[in-house]
Amino acid sequence: MNIKSTFTLLVCALPSIAFASTTPFSGDYQLHVDLIHDGQLANETKTDLTLKGTSQHFVASEQTLILSGSTSTNEQNIRFETSDLMSGEIRYFAGALGSSGVYRGSWHSNNGQSGDWQFNHSAVASFETCKQVLDAGQSVGDGVYTLVNEMGESHAFYCDMTTDGGGWTLVGSYPQNQPGGIAHVSDYGKTPETNPTHPSTLFLYQDDLGKFRDVREQVACAGAQCLNGKSVYADNLSSYELGLIRSAWGYADRLESMPKVADIPSCRTRYDDVASQVASCVLPTYLSWSNNSHQVGWQVDPHGPTHCWVARGTYAATAVGSGLCASNVEPNGTRFALLWMR
């Protein structure tokens, strides 16, 4: 008799096998399982499970089944076990992330059986980030998607699915009609901006950042994809480092979190060029300085002495919109800034 089972879990794609990351790993997936170990799924069955935990340790518990596992820090490998409380069978699963964003692999059990398996998101899966949507093969291109937070609350977010590898969630916006002088992260609105070309909402994501790894800040934007502005990037950051970048969007929080300019996380000025790394994301001559309240934002002139930052702080606090990235020119209401994470 060909007995198969499937489970549903939400796998948070993470950036070797070092099973030690603490990225959230929870939600709804389907696990397809068959009983023939030949690298192909045939006559598989499906079971839905709801996972909770992190990539370091996620679990699911149903009436007759317990699942426990972990994923690698680079999100390419996964392992877990299932225990059938009725039969006593224990199944051992191992696999890798395929090009389509779906985990696949093989399994064997303590009773000598083996087979193939595959994970995919269920029709009712809940995603926390645009990267999860992209990795699950559920992207329909750039646009607005419904994402959930740690409390299970749903909100509409804009996802950039095409630029710089895709999977970017818009987590901050500084409109061109907004005066400077924003002191704290808490001064920003919590309603997500969904128009990255003409943002009208002063917005900054204020939920847990542990679900993200990469960041892109764009300033001096005046059109689609900010092609005329200036961008900076960083990859594989901790939630603490991402929190520092977020805190830089308030001048008072910036000073409290990073008293010295050298405390600011570094950046690259080109996405795919490690040689474009800029220490502390500032003009090198600033590195020995104490931080100040003159501007808000992560980057401060990393492209040269050009007044290039998100917006003004206490200096010229009434200047409107994002910096223009032009030497000695204050914001004039024509540019906006965006913050993305992935």
Q: Which has the higher per-residue pLDDT, 124 or 89?
A: 89
Q: Pairing mode, if any, of strands 143-148 and 311-312?
A: unpaired
Query: What's the pLDDT at 6?
Result: 40
> How much is the average pLDDT of 132-136?
90
Determine the Cα–Cα distance for residues 128 and 26; give it in Å rounded to an integer.
9
Question: What are the pLDDT digits (tens) for 22-77?
Answer: 566 776 777 889 999 999 989 888 888 888 888 889 999 888 899 999 988 877 89
Q: Say if residue 272 is exposed, middle or buried (CB neighbours under 10 Å; 0-12, 13-18, 19+).
A: exposed
The model's pTM is 0.67
Question: What are the pLDDT digits (tens) for 232-280?
Answer: 999 999 999 999 999 999 999 999 999 999 999 999 999 999 999 999 9
Domain locations in the chain? 27-121, 130-341
Q: How many CB atoms lie within 10 A of CB 15?
A: 17
Query: What's the pLDDT at 114?
Result: 97
Query: What's the pLDDT at 82?
Result: 96
Query: What's the pLDDT at 8?
Result: 38
Cα 318-324-328 angle, rounded to 5 deg: 80
Determine the Cα–Cα distance for residues 182 and 245; give it in Å rounded to an integer.
15
Determine the Cα–Cα distance for residues 160 and 134; give it in Å rounded to an integer.
10
Query: What's the pLDDT at 189?
Result: 98
Superfamily of domain 27-121: Quinohemoprotein amine dehydrogenase alpha subunit, domain 2 (2.40.128.120)
What are 100's two structure tokens?
A: 């389509």
Determine the Cα–Cα distance for residues 90 and 287; give it in Å rounded to an integer.
56
What are 238's two structure tokens?
A: 């901790």
Query: What's the pLDDT at 101?
Result: 58
Q: Are 310 and 323 in contact (CB under 8 A)?
A: yes
Percent of the chain with pLDDT over 70: 90
